Amino acid sequence: MEVLRNPSDWPPAIRCGAVTIGNFDGVHWGHAELARRLLVAARRVGGPAVVFTFDPHPVRLLRPREAPPPLTWTDRKAQLLGELGVDYVVAYPTNEAFLKLSASEFFAEIVRGRLAARAMVEGENFYFGRDRAGDVALLGRLCQEAGIGLEVAPPVLVDGGISSSSRVRKALLAGRVEEANRLLTQPYRLRGMVTHGASRGNQLGFPTANLAAIDTLVPAPGVYAGRAITGGGVVPSAIHIGPNLTFGESGSKVEAHLIDWEGNLYGQPLEVDFLARLREIQRFDGVEALKQQLTTDIERARRILAS
């Protein structure tokens, strides 16, 4: 799988295949179904399977105050789509001029011009062009006129509801990471840079990696079982999100205790997967009570990761 950004660098091999267009934020099972159908269409027309997405999300330019925090960064999104089998992920550099293209202009310039698509796959709620004026009905007419096959995929249901990025986001903001993970093709992951904190974890015997500069959605405050992805591999972790109430803090932090691991991560990027919620954050009567709870949290996280 190859990630493409600058249109001037797109290889000729990207043309004459099957294309699906969208944001693909989070890469949930609805996206996976689009990818599955895309691969079938690509084989049928004898070309590549191409996912066309946007960087940044158009809403971040059009209505920045309304833009929700993303669920995935671009390279992570491309990695997940690559695991589903697509050949190319286009992260198109979104700008104001591009967003002014009408639906017909977008189709002519991108679908027919740059990609020379022979087949398309989209969901029922697909919109495109300036002011989202184009829908699947218009896309169907444009494809028919251009001799391009179009398949419209129905929504994918998980636990009785539609698998969608907004549903994933809602679950994470409520701390329901297990629900979010049932909707996603891979457990929810965020990333940040490891920075120096108050070093209370070291003093308590439970050192933590404090994450800053997080560019994706942070789940609700709580304590979670997860795993950290380091340069040396994957490490079971207990993750605390929120203020340290026992020490009178009010600012929210993301701290990961890497279980049975020793090393120095300061100044390095760290990625963390969330697997299960252990409990809410709480204030303890003293340091000893806090240490006892941390020991319990770590053992529970260890068991969850082992299973």
Is the pLDDT at 93 greater than 80? The verdict is yes
Detail the DSSP E strand segments found in 94-221: 119-123, 149-153, 157-158, 161-162, 189-195, 209-212
What pLDDT was estimated at residue 249? Answer: 79
What tokens were used for 287?
Answer: 């340091």
pLDDT digits (tens, 9 = 90+) for 11-44: 999 999 999 999 999 999 999 999 999 999 999 9
Half-sphere exposure of 38 (CA within 13 A, CB side): 30
Does pTM surpass 0.75? yes
Q: What totals of helices (H) and strands (E) does the chain contain, helices first?
A: 10, 14
Q: Taking 90 as the threshold, does the pLDDT of residue 227 lie above it?
A: yes
Q: Where are the domains of the chain?
A: 2-162, 188-306
Answer left, alpha or beta for residue 188, where phi above 0 means left and psi between -120 and 50 means alpha.
beta
User: Residue 294: its pLDDT value, please?
Assistant: 93
The two domains 2-162 and 188-306 share their CATH topology (first three levels equal): no
Torsion of CA 224, 225, 226, 232, to 10 degrees: 120
User: How far is CA 83 from each of CA 19, 59, 76, 190, rounded to the nearest angstrom?
Assistant: 17, 27, 11, 18
pLDDT of 245 > 70? The answer is yes
DSSP one-letter code for 232: T
Q: What would the pLDDT profile of 58-87 be if each residue is shown by its tens digit? A: 888 888 888 889 999 999 999 999 999 999
Q: Specify the fold of 2-162.
A: Rossmann fold (3.40.50)
Write down the CATH number for the domain with range 188-306: 2.40.30.30
